[in-house]
Amino acid sequence: MLVLHYTGMATAAAALARLCDPEARVSAHYVVEENGVIWRLVPESRRAFHAGISCWEGEQDLNAVSIGIEIVNPGHDCGYRHFPEAQMAAVECLCQDLVARHPIPPHRIVGHSDIAPERKSDPGELFDWARLARAGVGIWPPALPPASGPTVDAARCLDDLASIGYCVVTGSLRPALVAFQRRFRQSCCDGRLDTPTAARLSEVRDAFARLRPRTGGARYTSKLNASCSSCT
Ligand SMILES: [Zn+2]
């Protein structure tokens, strides 16, 4: 898996110091600064402590199976702001390189909030997932014009979220919906199951169903374009 985060700290220096402090018990494989500088803190073959208590597609202990990227941004509690172009270009490049070298299928590229909706909001609704998908990283189905008024139904919503990969039960529907919106319907992340959210859920569910491999993810790596001259 690939898990994208924001650092949620005032500066890159503060985030790097914390991620390198053994006492903090948090770490990530990579940190991407706002100016595009990429730091590797943990070898990809080693476990990093970035996901915490989390779940995706019914699987837990995601630190054991994932590479974590911390993207420098103050975060929602500290002055959340747009991710600059240099930073996004670096993130895109790094992710392309990772999915080319590891069997990471598109349906296992997630944000921290996707795998821990009740605890986490990162990388948040300003993160450009559509751009990454255009670069061959992750899934971003185009939003279709509404056909005949999708059904807004809580049971179906739970099914759709679970089909996508969210670990959600009836009592935790709202945080999961907020996480879904931060990722796939970024204009409004209020956690309400309104008609546009229901429509987007079906689009995303269908896109994940189309791209989810039947026999493992390795076969997807050959489809991804890893050409990237600026990753050095
Ligand atoms: Zn995080």
Is 70 an active-site residue? Answer: yes
Single-letter amino acid, residue 223: K
22 Cα–ligand 1 center, Å: 17
CA–CA distance, 71 with 51 (Å, rounded to integer): 14
CA–CA distance, 19 with 143 (Å, rounded to integer): 37
Write 143-152 long-range contacts (CB < 8 A, 24+).
143/199, 143/200, 143/203, 144/199, 144/203, 146/195, 146/196, 146/199, 149/195, 150/195, 150/198, 150/199, 150/202, 151/198, 152/193, 152/194, 152/195, 152/198
| Structure tokens given for 126 | 């300003």
What pLDDT was estimated at residue 171? 78
| Structure tokens given for 111 | 């944000």
Cα–Cα distances in angstroms (integers) from residue 3 to residues 58, 107, 145, 158, in the given order: 16, 11, 30, 23
71 Cα–ligand 1 center, Å: 9
121 Cα–ligand 1 center, Å: 8
Mean pLDDT by 10 residues, the chain (232 residues): 97 97 96 98 97 96 97 97 98 98 97 97 98 97 76 88 91 92 97 93 95 55 36 36
What pLDDT was estimated at residue 144? 82
150 Cα–ligand 1 center, Å: 33
Identify residues whose C-beta is under 5 A from ligand 1, the ion: 5, 112, 122
CA–CA distance, 23 with 87 (Å, rounded to integer): 28
What pLDDT was estimated at residue 118? 95
What pLDDT was estimated at residue 224? 33
CA–CA distance, 38 with 31 (Å, rounded to integer): 6
Which position among 33, 34, 70, 125 bears the catalytic label? 70
